[in-house]
Amino acid sequence: MTDFRRRIPRTDTALADPRLMAAGVRLGHGAVKAAVVAAQERARRGEIAPEDVIEAAVGALPAVGLRPVINATGVIVHTNLGRAPLSADAVSAMVEAAGYTDVELDLKDGRRARRGRTAMAALAAAVPGAGGVHVVNNGAAALVLAATALAQGREIVVSRGEMVEIGDGFRLPDLLVSTGARLREVGTTNRTTVADYANAVGPETGFVLKVHPSNFVVQGFTSSVPVDDLSGLGVPVVADIGSGLLAPHPALPDEPDAASALAAGATLVTASGDKLLGGPQAGLLLGGAAIVERLRRHPLARALRVDKLTLAALEATLRGPDVPVLTALAADPEALRDRAETLAAALRTDGIDAHAAATEAVVGGGGAPGHTLPSWAVSLPERYARRLRLGDPAVLGRVERGRLLLDLRCVPAARDLELRKACTS
């Protein structure tokens, strides 16, 4: 036997790799063994090095199910990673609600009750200024419901500076027009005044829409009109605040929130549940009791109805504590620095070229555009990026100037050890 053949790992050695063992549970042991045998064959034919057999087998496994990921990107609300990770309480609430549950029943008298009423009560309690609340599938659905119920066949007045694309090619103007409403664009990309709105408002107006321009900022010679000034126009004002802060947050002074928008006179506020609120994918509608009831009774509301698991997770998130998005937002940079230095030192004793590096984290998901949060990362050679991404759990960092940065802001401190293991396994 030639020397390189002897260096090909035996099948049982390969199958003892933790990633392949975990994959066996998910995919069945037969499929994992087949991937190992195929990788050994490739090594025998000289297509890959014997040392790469296990890596090749891991890489060749078919993708099944959603894989858990440690988010070391420094982007708190990362849409490609499922946005907000749920709190432990929200996860248990979902598990409990997974069986039969009283989602639409009052157990006291055995009669039908409003769907998700305890979650609605928690939302109403979190925003006392809202006379009515309703929850649909996501933020886009909340806007569609508002546009359909309040402006179908009529006009939505919106600033040209707020006609945004929210990602993956979805554009809010197209979404609104798909409901049968007409858009009445006012102002220019950089400047819109209250007079622009006033000139456009008339008998055809369904509502004036104020959109949080997520993902970008307009700088320089700009002006936009706050909700306060729009509320004097005599027509309903819908504020799409986007990221779902219910009240002002000290770390994000420029980010709009539901309570302030309602206090400024918004008739209706729409927001996402899985951005800065830190809960499950959901669309929140908050506003006057009568208008919210009208939306809730609209036939389309049934098609946008939210699932019982979502209601359970949303309520647990609203009742807190320990919501991971808020923990990441509030993380103390000095504590992150200590963790990064400790982890980097441990990795150096493992023989890895690692050091702590100051970084800038962001909110992401369209929240707080242009705002950065001081953070700390462990910096590693770039070649670790692929193997960490293919690990179990996968670890996703970001690559900058030939180095892989593992930003610790969104990594719970209890998982630092897993990061070290992932680098050394």
Q: How far is the CB of 299 from ligand PLP (least distance, A)?
A: 21
Question: Which residues within the stretch 163-192 sit at the binding site for ligand PLP (CB under 6 A)?
Answer: 166
Binding segment for ligand PLP among 48-56, 94-102, 135-143, 261-269 (CB under 6 A)? 135-143
CA atoms in the 13 A half-sphere facing the CB of 162: 25
Contacts of 131 (CB under 8 A, 6+ apart): 287, 288, 289, 290, 292
Find the shortest distance in angstroms from Cβ 24 to ligand PLP.
36
The least CB distance from residue 109 to ligand PLP, in Å, is 35
H-helix or E-strand spanning residue 71: strand 69-71
For ligand PLP, give the closer residue by CB, 126 or 163.
163
What count of other Cβ atoms lies within 10 Å of the Cβ of residue 126?
20
Residue nearest to ligand PLP (CB): 139
Q: Say how many residues touch ligand PLP, by CB under 6 A.
A: 13
Is residue 140 a contact point for ligand PLP (CB under 6 A)?
yes
Site residues for ligand PLP, 233-272, by CB under 6 A, read 240, 242-243, 272
| Three-state DSSP state, 253 | coil
**Stretch 349-408 residues interacting with ligand PLP (CB under 6 A):** 366
**Residue 201 contacts residue 172 (beta carbons within 8 Å):** no
Task: Name the E strands within 216-366.
Answer: 237-242, 268-272, 283-287, 355-364
Give residues 202-231 in contact with ligand PLP (rule: CB under 6 A).
211-212, 214
Compute φ and ψ for 410, nearest 5 degrees.
Answer: -100, 10
Residues 6+ away with beta carbon under 8 Å from 295 = 134, 145, 146, 149, 150, 268, 285, 301
**Residue 139 lies near ligand PLP (rule: CB under 6 A):** yes
**Quick one: DSSP state of residue 338?**
H
Provide the token pair at 154: 């009529």
Site string for ligand PLP, 281-310 (x = CB under 6 A): --x---------------------------
Q: Choose, by CB under 6 A, the member of 71, 73, 138, 317 that binds ligand PLP.
A: 138
Q: Is 317 in the site for ligand PLP (CB under 6 A)?
A: no
Q: Is 159 in the site for ligand PLP (CB under 6 A)?
A: no
Residues within the interface to ligand PLP (CB under 6 A): 138-140, 166, 211-212, 214, 240, 242-243, 272, 283, 366
